[in-house]
Amino acid sequence: MPPNSNSDYSDPKLANRATPLRCETLLARINPLLKGRQAVPSIECRIGCAGSSSELVLAPPFFTRLVAEAGLSQQQKRLFLAELASLDLAWIGDPLDPIDAKPLEPNVENAPNRIASIHVDQPVDIDAIRNSAAIELQMFGVPFETLHNSRRSRWMPSLPIEILEFEQLAKKIEMLRSLTGKKCPIGAAMAPGAVYEDVRFLVDSGVDFITLLCQVQFGWSISNCISLAPLDSTIEQSVKAIKDSGAKTKLLVSGNLVDGQQMFRCLQLGASAVSIDAFLAQSKPKEAVPVKETFGSVLSTYAPPTFSSSYTWLLPAVLQLISELHDCALYAGNFTK
Amino acid sequence: MENPSESALSFDLEKTSAYELLSALQMTRSTAHPSQKVDETSPYLGLKLTNARGQDFIGAGLRDIGEVTVVGSVGDFAFCSFGDGQVVIEGNAGNFFGHSIASGMLVVRGHSKHALGALGSGGLIAIYGNAQDRVAVGMQGTDIIVRGSVANYAGMGMQSGTLIIGGSAGLHLGQAMAGGTIYIRGEPESVSNDVEEQRLREPDRLKIGMLMLKSNIKSSGKEFRVFRPVREAS
């Protein structure tokens, strides 16, 4: 295959990429025929910040939670983040290095796509949220063993212990906004329970985006699955709740989405962006199957720079996914977000 | 060392928002990062915040700021995520005062509302008046002294740290407490089943005395009762 067979992508940042795809996609075949017609719809997610004109753009509409939750080593994180940066993908997690003393300005060059996280019952760390493009409150149960300095293996509660009602959460969100100069979108990640009520609670508290965690697991053990709720109905209920609130809150979905068609279905149902975690986990290189199948061990096959042939699988896999998504959008016709 | 009165900076909180204050201090100070050494001759030794009339988020995110005096009362989430400094508030404090405090010392000469010192991981908070309910909720290492009385659910979900109550307490003292210690001089209306009373020992008296001394409150530390969780977190 010629190295520049994917040079006609609608995203100009990907046009110059020399990495070839594994197979030629519909988009790559059909796009030269449709040049200049804007035939391929642009799929992106724009998350605005309430009270200001600032917004976080996810283009393509992907994000990943693996940096924070896959238990990667520092070296693995660095390699992973380098790949994410080259793809402009948003990621959720803390900064790798101590951040230099700088004014609180989001969207700075060193972490343009980092979404800082604040866990339930954990103190607000000003250094972690500094220089982030957005902040996500983790309003879901987390097994202690996945957290730093964990001592107990049990679940943390889903609502912060100091919050009793949505006015208090609204105040906390307003405080976080004030810390970032009202330029940083604030969101919340939740696991489906009473979906409609939970989403209404968060929307009424003033979040800019909500991340739904459906069928997401920490590692691949079923005991670590945070929710088994079905994806479709959860998205539909969330969309209804947001619509009933009259807010412009964006919906992000993290679930067992392993290909472009499933992701596109989520986008059609009303999600604004989807996580690529499950896709990456199932896209592992077959020649390097780890003994213990967690995502951390999958990526450990990818980490040593000496094995140059095995650690570059991530980039073409995601490029192929983007292409698949555009194919679905092209096939579906008038898809607009 | 430079005389604090000569280097005092003053901000009018009627004209300066919390973010403007934070930005102004960070922009003009080269040692803003908490990992760096605090320069005792920094221009913020003797920082004064005037016209505090219950505005929210005052001092949120401030770190390494030396001594600060706030003239008036502060609103909700004041001095959230505070670290490395000494603040004296000459009025009252609103809800969630000292939320997520990491280090340093906050002194309130008046009273405090709900959830004082919530999720604090270090430092010392001293309230010379009373505090409303859920004092030290989810606290993870801060020391809190309330000279007066506290309302319901004091010490709720505490994981570590010390709560000293000079007066009485409301209902459900120590609800869901997993670690830390509560010292109380008066009578709680009810005590949660999650905590049990223990004998006041010499280290307890010393600890109370030290914290009281640090907070400029006179006490011998002998008249207190001690409550600790029934089962400490393993």
Q: Please check the confidence at residue B123 and state whether its pLDDT lies above 50.
A: yes
Q: Please check the confidence at residue A295 and state whether its pLDDT lies above 70.
A: no
Q: Please check the confidence at residue A113 and state whether its pLDDT lies above 90.
A: no
Q: Please check the confidence at residue A159 and state whether its pLDDT lies above 60.
A: yes
E-only strand ranges, chain B: 10-12, 47-53, 63-73, 83-89, 105-108, 124-127, 140-146, 160-165, 181-184, 195-198, 225-229
Q: Please check the confidence at residue B132 and state whether its pLDDT lies above 90.
A: yes
pLDDT score for A132: 86
CB contact under 8 A, B26 and A103: yes
Residues in chain A closer than 8 A to B25 (CB atoms):
none
pLDDT score for B8: 61
Q: A-B interface: how many C-beta pairs under 8 angstroms?
A: 100
The pair of structure tokens assigned to A186 is: 């604030």
Helix (H, G, I), strand (E, B) or coil at A330: helix
Q: Please check the confidence at residue B87 and state whether its pLDDT lies above 70.
A: yes
Amino acid present at B13: L
Report the range out of A73-82, A153-162, A177-186, A219-228 with the highest average pLDDT.
A177-186
Amino acid present at B34: P
Q: Please check the confidence at residue B37 and state whether its pLDDT lies above 70.
A: no
Q: What does the pLDDT look like over B66-78, one tens digit per residue?
A: 889 999 999 999 9
What's the average model confidence in pLDDT over B125-151? 96
Q: Please check the confidence at residue A12 and state whether its pLDDT lies above 80.
A: no
Q: Torsion angle, CA of A165/A167/A173/A174, rounded to 10 degrees? A: -160
CB contact under 8 A, A171 and B95: yes
Mean model confidence pLDDT for chain A = 73
The Cα–Cα gap between B60 and B54 comes to 14
Q: Please check the confidence at residue A65 and state whether its pLDDT lies above 60.
A: yes
- Minimum-distance CB partner of B138 among A102, A104, A121: A121
DSSP H/E element including A258: none
Return all residues near A314 (Cβ < 8 A) that are at least 6 apart: A80, A83, A280, A283, A302
Residue B155: pLDDT band with limits 50, 70, 90: very high
Q: Please check the confidence at residue A8 and state whether its pLDDT lies above 60.
A: no
pLDDT score for A293: 57
The pair of structure tokens assigned to A180 is: 């970032």
For testing contact with chain B, the best of A175, A177, A186 (most B CBs within 10 A): A175
pLDDT above 70 as % of chain B: 86
Q: Please check the confidence at residue A288 and state whether its pLDDT lies above 80.
A: no
The pair of structure tokens assigned to B150 is: 């506290």
pLDDT score for B45: 57
CB of B231 within 8 Å of any CB in chain A? no
What's the average model confidence in pLDDT over B175-201? 94
CB of A98 within 8 Å of any CB in chain B? yes
Helix (H, G, I), strand (E, B) or coil at A291: coil
pLDDT score for A332: 77
Q: Which of residues 69-88 of B touch A (CB under 8 A)?
A: 76-77, 80-81, 83
Residues in chain B closer than 8 A to A119 (CB atoms):
none
The Cα–Cα gap between A267 and A252 comes to 9
Contact (CB, 8 A) for A66 and A203: no
What's the average model confidence in pLDDT over B132-146? 95
Q: Please check the confidence at residue B222 and state whether its pLDDT lies above 90.
A: no
pLDDT above 90 as % of chain B: 67
Q: Please check the confidence at residue A307 and state whether its pLDDT lies above 50.
A: no
Task: Return the ∠ at Cα B122 (arms to B116 and B123), rounded to 5°.
Answer: 75
pLDDT score for A40: 56
Q: Please check the confidence at residue B24 and state whether its pLDDT lies above 60.
A: yes
Residue B127: pLDDT band with limits 50, 70, 90: very high
Mean pLDDT lowest among A9-13, A333-337, B71-75, B162-166:
A9-13
CB contact under 8 A, A151 and B27: no
User: DSSP labels for B101-132?
Assistant: --SSEEEESS-B-SSTTTT--SSEEEESS-B-
The Cα–Cα gap between A322 and A260 comes to 7
Q: How many residues does chain B have?
A: 234
The nearest CA of chain B is from the CA of A206 a distance in Å of 17
pLDDT score for A43: 79
Contact (CB, 8 A) for B64 and B32: yes
pLDDT above 90 as % of chain A: 20
Is the link from the previous residue into A32 a cis peptide, with omega within 30 of 0?
no
CB of B27 within 8 Å of any CB in chain A? yes
Residues in chain A closer than 8 A to B99 (CB atoms):
123-124, 162
CB contact under 8 A, A124 and B100: yes
- Higher pLDDT among residues A1 and B167, named by residue: B167
Report the range out of A130-139, A145-154, A314-323 with the highest average pLDDT.
A130-139
Q: Quick one: chain B helix, strand, coil %, rounded to 5? A: 10, 30, 60
The nearest CA of chain A is from the CA of B10 a distance in Å of 20
